[in-house]
Amino acid sequence: MYCFHSPFGMIDYDWGEDCCHAVVLQQQKSLHPQHEDPVSLWLSAYFCGKVLPLPPLCAATTPFQAKMRVGLCAIPHGEVRTYGELAKILNTAPRALGRALGVNPLPLLIPCHRIVKANALGGFHAGKVWKQRLIDGEKAAHGCFNP
């Protein structure tokens, strides 16, 4: 595991020799070392408001998760969709989608934070504070994230 110092806290991630396997948005200080690799370069660009191609990611574990990844990555930077909107596109139920989003091992890289309830923020495994900050930062006119 390695860590990245973001404007909102530490991000731990598991970078193998050829792909990212997991991302964990932390609430407290990380014990893992910083590292320069495709994930840290992508995160640096992301938090400066730049959109880069994703670093290599581990394969989705199910066909549905692979389909969900495609749907999430199709949501433009700075925009959100509701659970219902994405569920309709993916031809599934909003609750099934919510369960799959809850076990997304690559939050931020696979932007599950861009999915909201029709009338509220909705859940996020790293907490609603992280989710709101990510959404607000992406929507900011200058594109840079401020803590």
What residues are labeled active site? Answer: 112
Tokens 């495994």 belong to 125
Cβ pair 53, 109 in contact under 8 A: no
CA–CA gap between residue 83 and residue 78 (Å, rounded):
16
- The amino acid that residue 106 corresponds to is L
State the DSSP H helix or E strand holding residue 11, giving kind and residue range, or none if neither.
Answer: strand 9-15
The encoded tokens of residue 107 equal 């939050």
